[in-house]
Amino acid sequence: MVLTKISFSQTYVSFISTADSSDQWMDYISCSNSGGNNCLEHYQNVYSITGDTSINSINYVKITTTEKHWLTSGISGQVNCPSSINYSTYFFGGIRENSKHLYFFDPISSTEYLIYDFNLTTGDTMPNPSGFGFGGEYRIIESIDSILINNSYRKRYFLPEINGIPTTVIEGIGASTGVFHSMNINISCESNMLCYKENGTTIYPNGINCDMNLSIEKGQLDLAIYPNPTNAYLTIESESGYSLEIEIINSFGQVILKKSVNQPSNSIDVSAISSGIYFVKVEVGGKVGLQKLIIE
């Protein structure tokens, strides 16, 4: 159980007050049963601020996304999954902020949603509108503390676990499930925020490269990482048989475990690592993969 702390930020950290075109959020989404077959479907999205716009006489900051989409074989060994990687860039929507409320305008539904409310306290419900992203139920805030990021303290909200996976929301950054995605865990899809870049520098997690070409690409790297969440051993499999350089990195960008292995299947003891959200960085044959890891 996470206890509420009193070291809350004295100054609210806005999503957009200091934002410029170099600010970016990156998330990763994986879904099963794509197209009714056994392929796994992967999306990586980089959301960028690209200026201002007026919609229905309301001023918004424009959000543009660059999306990477690819398929890999599913757990039953489907081998007819296309191997190509497709990219697309498009206007994703608009955001505006008012009195610590963050609103998103969805151009598909032509609807504005309240997606974050940073006036809330323990026991209140965090917005999670069913028409936004994957949709889902509202989530009750279990506790709140503060976290030091980029020399300023920000509120961090802890929401209930679903299927053993915790969700947090950080002021000025967004939810651990992705800044523009549901805070529920979908049966067929899972979304995770990988990193956030502010004024051209990755500030969360500190020390992580927030460029698209360094994200996880299971098809190219030919990796499987499980179980996730875990509290004992983490298994990393590679059919390629390359030497693996593995790092586990905490949310402050500190490398807390580093290991070199040279076997097709490897188990790493993580039982001594405190519970929380981490990143597994794997280098294989000159390529780099990055995946979020939850230790219970």
pTM of the model: 0.71
Q: Is the pLDDT of residue 15 over 50?
A: yes
Token pair recorded at residue 91: 């206007």
How far is the C-alpha of 261 from the C-alpha of 188, rounded, in Å?
A: 32
pLDDT at 135 over 60: no
Q: Is the pLDDT of residue 162 over 70?
A: no
Neighbour-count burial for 201-224, b at 16+ CB within 10 Å, e otherwise: ebbbbbbbebebebbbbbbebbbe
Dihedral over Cα of 132, 155, 197, 280: its sign: negative
Question: What is the spatial distance between Cα 293 and Cα 78, in angstroms, rounded to a whole number?
Answer: 26
- Quick one: tokens of 74? 């599913």
User: pLDDT tens across 59-106, in order?
Assistant: 999 999 988 887 776 555 445 677 677 888 899 999 999 999 999 998
Residue 56 Ramachandran class (φ > 0 left, ψ -120 to 50 alpha, else beta): left
The model's pLDDT over 38-65, given as tens digits with 9 standing for 90+, comes to 677 778 888 988 888 898 899 999 999 9
| Segment 224-239 mean pLDDT | 77
Q: What is the pLDDT confidence band of residue 245, given thresholds at 50, 70 and 90?
A: confident
Q: Distance between CA atoms of 126 and 121, rounded to whole angstroms? A: 9
Q: What is the pLDDT of residue 253?
A: 61
CATH 2.60.40.3080 boundaries in the chain: 218-295
Is the per-residue pLDDT at 216 higher than 60?
no
Please state, as a whole number, how many other Cβ atoms lie within 10 Å of the Cβ of residue 93: 23
User: Stretch 187-206: mean pLDDT, rounded?
Assistant: 78
In whole angstroms, give the CA distance from residue 57 to residue 40. Answer: 42
- For the chain, the C-alpha Rg in angstroms (whole number) is 19
DSSP string covering 63-106, please? EEEEEEEEEE--TT---------EEEEEEEEEEEEETTEEEEEE
Would strands 223-226 and 111-117 be described as parallel, antiparallel, or unpaired? unpaired
CATH number for the domain whose boundaries are 218-295: 2.60.40.3080
Q: Is the dihedral of CA 150, 152, 153, 159 positive or negative?
A: negative
* Per-residue pLDDT band at 191 (split at 50, 70, 90): confident
